[in-house]
Amino acid sequence: MPGSWSPARIAARIPLSVLPNIRPIGLIVFCRFLLPGMFRPWGRKKCIDPPTWKAYPDEAAAMPGNGLAQHPMLYIGEGCNKMFLINEGKIVWTYSTGKGWEYDDIWLLSNGNILFSRMGWAAEVTPQKKIIWRIDANKGCEIHTIQPIGLDKCMLVENGTPATLKIINKKTGAVEVQHSLPQSLTGAGVHGQFRRARVTDKGTYLLSLLQMNRVVEYDRDFKEIWSYPISSPWAAVRLKNGNTLISDEKEALAREVTPAGETAWEFKLSELPPELGFSGSQTCVRVANGNTIFCSRGDAGKRPQLVEITREKKVVWALRNWKDLGPATAIQVLDEPGIPENPGDLQR
């Protein structure tokens, strides 16, 4: 019975190693996911597309780090119709919206709900797998990127002719900001316009112009205040030190650049040990200790999905688990400090 669960009994069910790090997403989040059946039924399973990758019996052999137990995380990938919540080395929750492409952006909020983009639409789902908010892309348009702004609002970009940046109040349905982004900025091809856009902690808009080879930052009035030319920027993240971490899909690298446009740090996937054979990275995450985690499509099971390196470019973790997971496009590390819906708290 739900009423029989005191906070002490709830905490007792959570591994001790997790308790010191539980503040970023809150005790209630772990309770809602780790104690299934306590609240309400989980809902029906939906059919998903068959995997296009292969799992190998020795796939995890000689991989550095602790496998799935390295970090609690939320995990998605293009080409896989399922999202995964991982804790203490186990998949504790999954959710699928059915067949078709593609998951690109995802957030576990401090209230336990998950906000995500699905190319044709975006939504917020509860741990009990109930959709409580949804927006569909207009005909001929796509939604690849979304970001929470507090628990009640979100920012998204709708690829289209023209592309449009919106801030939406999910409670009232009001579109509080709507700004068209001209084709001269985004390029003509709808699919290749955006995969990432972010609201920074200063309230500015950081846009990754994937097919136009540029990252641009606008102020609240959509006046350009910063830009950086780079080939195929899939994602750009404003770091706490004021620099910007950019994932260059074409050149297979991540580059941290200063406000002056100077390179503060760079890592090419070709610098990884050859036995890892990492490839196809679209995003990376900077964690609080300064390490960077790269996500990968993994060459259909032949290569790892995640690699974590230090500032000194030492590999401390590599995850190759195609038995349980699919490709990795994005992760949210759940033992990081910060509130997910506060822009700038997480470096992702």
Residue 157 counted as domain residue: yes
Q: Is position 35 within any domain?
A: no
Average pLDDT over residues 11-37: 49
* 12 occurs within a structural domain: no
Range of the domain at 289: 47-333
Write the pLDDT tens digit of every residue in 4-13.
Answer: 333 344 344 4
Average pLDDT, integer, range 247-272: 96
Is residue 120 situated within a structural domain?
Answer: yes
Assigned domain for 292 exists: yes
Give yes or no for a contact between 124 and 131, defined as CB atoms under 8 angstroms apart: yes
Question: How many Å apart are CA 18 and CA 69, to the nearest integer?
Answer: 11
Q: Residue 301: pLDDT band by 50, 70, 90 thresholds?
A: confident
Name the E strands within 109-204: 114-117, 121-125, 131-136, 142-149, 153-159, 163-169, 175-181, 197-199
Domain assignment present for residue 236? The answer is: yes
Single-letter amino acid, residue 135: I
CA atoms within 13 A on the CB side of 73: 22
Residue 89 has pLDDT above 60, yes or no: yes
Residue 299 maps to a domain: yes
Give me the mean pLDDT over the 135-153 stretch.
Answer: 97
pLDDT in tens, 171-216: 999 999 999 999 999 999 999 999 999 999 999 999 999 999 999 9
Query: Looking at the domain assignment, is residue 137 inside a domain?
Result: yes
DSSP 320: -
- Total domain count, the chain: 1
Per-residue model confidence as pLDDT tens digits over 40-64: 444 556 666 677 767 777 787 889 9
Q: Is the pLDDT of residue 142 over 70?
A: yes
**CATH code of residue 322:** 2.120.10.30
Task: Tell me: pLDDT of 19 over 90.
Answer: no
Contact predicate 155/176, CB 8 Å? no
